[in-house]
Structure 1
């Protein structure tokens, strides 16, 4: 099989790291994975000779609709799969003003594909309620290379507990909530260390003021090396289709404290701690009551769950591709 992956994201974020791992994990004799990078808004798809499957990792946006429509027309006999990396129920609540227009976009985009992949059970439930029949929907939680995280030793705490927050400095990630929560806390034995960069950095630094408990490290070339210095990982996201940082933390044996937004609810079901009230006051209460010993136990089971997630990722992709290969292909536009 020759499987093509269409990507319009040029950054080295979760999508591209997942693709790098996917192509390595599934590559085997007689099966080839090719990454094809396109520009967002490109009008026609590139030629993909001998494609057995085409997997879209494109943003489902109006700018990409001509490309997606042309892709379906040119490859009418080829199974097309779309992976929804971006959208979730909380995303719509936070970012979408015109819900009817957005619903029309997603319904039209997803109708072009044989299968739509949700990246978490929570996202999948939302997609099934709104846009995609369950027969065309599958859930495959993403994975990235975890070896560097598995190799980290368990953390031995010092006098202070270091809580790590990793990711883009964007309102989505809720890092402002974390900063405000810590600044209102009386605890002096807790520090929050931020690893990342982005458009919100100036605002976050202003919120932090001169509080010595808040440390900015900038972009982390090695997320595993950054995580080695952390006792706990915090994820106060306002929306999050999946949340790869939680999986990486599990592989490193680090406990996670998260909001219940979208896919993070799945991580809480799988052993992460929920903050409950994802507001500054909610995080202040957590900091004031925090005891690292309540979180230290369970490193072995966290690593085991990450190993199981790694295997499940490969198994589900292999099963999906195999099923689409065995079934006679007859695409029908969804009603």
Structure 2
């Protein structure tokens, strides 16, 4: 009989959550474990499933601590693994006015779980430096998704202008406002930006893009591999990013990356692109302009090579942790 694993999520339709969870429940681990996905709003149904382990893929907040405590009380024989996909060093720099209160909230959350998964080395170091939990209680398992459709993308001949791609939610975190300000400083004959996405800042970004001949807004992201096939390189101007699945996808597609030097992005860009200071349109524009002087093919190959076993490594690490917790 298969051991039951419940994956608890807040918003299943978020791109990164959906791609990772879908890949996991249909992976080879389905032959060993019985997976079920529930929303945090459906916690009353947990007892019906009687899972051995809950993967708590939900944002840790004061309100969710109460839900976590309720789950703990009502399911005393179930072990909880928190997947910390939301917070990071740079998140707290830009979003947290009261650090001691914020850290206390995280300590309470992590105390209620048997284990915590950190999704990047940088995030894990931040957790330990702030004494949010003991080292034996955290494991680094970098987020991943199935990458075969990205590996299948063939390299495209390079012509001017260079086609630079960016995609994701139109929100403060992703830094697309900074990117559009940077594009004002980039010659249209050198680089064209394709920007895909939607979200709360859509009107503001459309306003910033007005009059920019080197920017094309493409609307909602429907098919990421097809989008990346059109691009020569990818830019990720995030202000914070605990890991950054976009970077993983871009590298798997063989595309060089320009990324903010923050959190999990910092450890992903090695010999495959450029790291830049976040929220600096001038430095970002300089990095974008410099693409024409780089060997993009070599960067693309290096990036793809670095992630060729990413999904297998993710499954191996997660399976080992689940086995340890059972």
The structure with the greater share of residues assigned to strand is 2
SS in 2 for 1:148: helix
Deviations 1:181-231 (A, max 9, x none): 120234522011101001111111211221110110011211111111110
How far apart are the structure 2 equivalents of 1:160 and 1:60?
A: 44
- Relative distance call for 1:48 and 1:107 in structure 2 (3 A) is farther
How far apart are the structure 2 equivalents of 1:45 and 1:122?
A: 35
CA contact (8 A) 2:272 2:300 kept: no
Partner of 2:23 in structure 1? 21
Q: Which runs of no fewer than 5 residues in structure 1 stay unpaired?
A: 326-335
Deviations 1:105-160 (A, max 9, x none): 11111110011111111011111122111100011011112121111111222331
CA contact (8 A) 1:43 1:66 kept: no
Counterparts in 2 of 1:30-69, with a 5 A limit? 30-39=32-41, 46-69=46-69
CA contact (8 A) 1:45 1:67 kept: no
SS in 2 for 1:290: helix
CA contact (8 A) 1:163 1:190 kept: yes
Partner of 2:123 in structure 1? 123
Deviations 1:54-111 (A, max 9, x none): 1101111122122100111222222210001111111111111222221221111111
SS in 2 for 1:211: coil
Partner of 1:274 in structure 2? 275
CA contact (8 A) 1:164 1:230 kept: yes
How far apart are the structure 2 equivalents of 1:242 and 1:270?
A: 18
Q: Which runs of no fewer than 5 residues in structure 2 stay unpaired?
A: none
SS in 2 for 1:225: helix
1:85 and 2:111 are equivalent in the alignment: no
Partner of 1:135 in structure 2? 136
- Count of aligned pairs between the two proteins: 323
Deviations 1:3-22 (A, max 9, x none): 11111214242012111111
Partner of 2:322 in structure 1? 321
How far apart are the structure 1 equivalents of 2:227 and 2:187?
A: 26
Counterparts in 2 of 1:1-335, with a 5 A limit? 1-39=3-41, 46-130=46-130, 131-186=132-187, 188-269=189-270, 271-276=272-277, 278-291=279-292, 293-325=294-326
Deviations 1:149-175 (A, max 9, x none): 111111222331011011001111111
How far apart are the structure 2 equivalents of 1:222 and 1:292?
A: 30
Kindly report the root-mean-square deviation, in angstroms, between the aligned alpha carbons of the 2 structures: 1.8
Q: TM-score, normalised by structure 2?
A: 0.93
